[in-house]
Amino acid sequence: MARKRTMTAATFRRGINLWPPFLFAGIRVLAVSDDFRSAKVRLRLGRLNRNYVGTHFGGSIFAMTDPFWMLLVMQNLGRDYLVWDAAAEISFVSPGRGDIFAEFTLTDDRLAEIRELTQDGKKALVWFDTEVLAADGSVVARVRKQVYVRQKRDQGVPTG
């Protein structure tokens, strides 16, 4: 069962765009679907997020991808599940010299897989892959996020 949302996707998008780590790094959430199944993020190259050689700072590239898989999964599974970021990997492929973008899409198949993996109170460690792309479509970075998911124990789920 999906969680009853306490805020709309539009309100979430406006709020996260004012969140200082995003605001000051030049990260902008361009879209979040009404069902919290997808999001699109842009990172502009500016004075505050350039590295020594004038390209995007790697920490900003990672930050633009950081919360989205956890948030999309959390919003779609509902209050009966614990959802946490567990691990991450980033590979830098080419220098980012202009606006760069990341898109996240949570499919029905992935949600069904997570629900199946977490039956009977089992935990699941699920990997999600994201490519960070330049405006011309070239790959700037590849990011992998591992999300921990488990049904809450107080939901009648065995603890064993």
Q: Which CATH number characterizes residue 88's domain?
A: 3.10.129.10
Give domain status of residue 160, yes or no. Answer: no
Tell me which DSSP letter residue 66 carries.
T
Taking a C-beta distance cutoff of 8 angstroms, is the pair 1, 78 a contact? yes
Give domain status of residue 2, yes or no. Answer: no
Number of structural domains the chain divides into: 1
Residue range 30-58: average pLDDT?
Answer: 93
Give domain status of residue 3, yes or no. Answer: no
Whether residue 158 has pLDDT greater than 60: no
Residue 11 CA to residue 78 CA, distance in Å, equals 18
The residue type found at 85 is: D
Give domain status of residue 1, yes or no. Answer: no
Give domain status of residue 149, yes or no. Answer: yes
User: Helices (H), strands (E): how many in the chain?
Assistant: 5, 6
Residue range 18-41: average pLDDT?
Answer: 95
Give domain status of residue 4, yes or no. Answer: no
Tokens of 44: 């502009």
Whether residue 111 has pLDDT greater than 70: yes
What pLDDT is attached to residue 1? 47
Can you give the pTM of this predicted structure?
0.88
